Copies of this chain bind each other. A is one copy, B any other.
């Protein structure tokens, strides 16, 4: 089997319809085998507002109560996932939308309550590589949303970056894997205030320096930690960028260890 490309999309790329359609077109043209993992941007938050459901935030972290989980499941596994799949079908990319419960593909454990009770948030414990590879061998392109399950009948909200990273690491035990994090920025920025100032390369040492200088924004820190973790655990390439990352060389940030 050829190298597998895992692409994760999130942020404004999901919220903005024309950016999303442009991404879907580019993704449909990528060589197979490929896997898509998507977050939900702020769409769940907006629907929560319309439904008068409060989203609690403690220390900058979102809490997922039962109602928030319902909304996340509706928005991620329902609306966003099925819209992406139907658009990929139009472009002759035979895709299949999945939550972690489907085919028991991603199992997670409800996060333990320590300082903060995150609610129905799951940390990944198992990736069903065999199931994912079987789909790929049947010429399907899996499209994962950020909902997993605990094997005991409970759905759990799970970080989409972590899903992309965990799938990539697991598949890299048997295949070569490239992991692309695609969002609305050109990559990791040298200067937070200048969207065009992206780094073509970043290694662990640079990262530590930029982090120390507070030159990397808060939201980017867990994403980069995920990336380096994937590289250290067998993933062959990790790249961060916008839709242009599919259009040529050096149009993104390449991470190295």
Task: Give the interface of A toward B (CB within 8 A).
Answer: 47, 50-52, 70, 73-79, 81-83, 85-87, 89-90, 94-99, 101-104, 134, 138, 140, 147, 149, 151-155
Q: What chain B residues lie within 8 Å of A70 (beta carbons)? A: 79
- State the Cβ distance, A211 to closest chain B Cβ, in Å: 37
Q: What chain B residues lie within 8 Å of A81 (beta carbons)? A: 77-78
Report the separation of the CA atoms of residues A90 and B134 in the bound assembly, to the nearest whole angstrom: 22
Of B83, B86, B98, B153, which is within 8 A of A89 by CB?
B153
Report the separation of the CA atoms of residues A154 and B82 in the bound assembly, to the nearest whole angstrom: 10
| Secondary structure dominating the interface of A | helix
- State the Cβ distance, A108 to closest chain B Cβ, in Å: 11
Does the CB pair A79–B82 fall under 8 Å?
Answer: no
Report the separation of the CA atoms of residues A98 and B147 in the bound assembly, to the nearest whole angstrom: 15
Between A82, A96, A147, the greatest number of chain B beta carbons within 10 A of the residue's beta carbon is seen for A82
Does the CB pair A99–B82 fall under 8 Å?
Answer: yes
A-B contact pairs, 23 of them (CB 8 A): A50-B52, A51-B51, A70-B79, A73-B79, A73-B82, A74-B75, A74-B78, A74-B79, A76-B78, A77-B77, A77-B81, A82-B101, A82-B147, A83-B155, A85-B99, A85-B102, A85-B149, A86-B154, A89-B104, A90-B151, A94-B104, A97-B99, A134-B138
Q: Closest 5 interchain pairs by CB?
A: A78-B78, A74-B74, A90-B153, A74-B78, A86-B101
Q: What chain B residues lie within 8 Å of A102 (beta carbons)? A: 82, 85, 95-97
Report the separation of the CA atoms of residues A147 and B74 in the bound assembly, to the nearest whole angstrom: 13
Q: What chain B residues lie within 8 Å of A95 (beta carbons)? A: 102-103
Q: What chain B residues lie within 8 Å of A99 (beta carbons)? A: 82, 85, 97
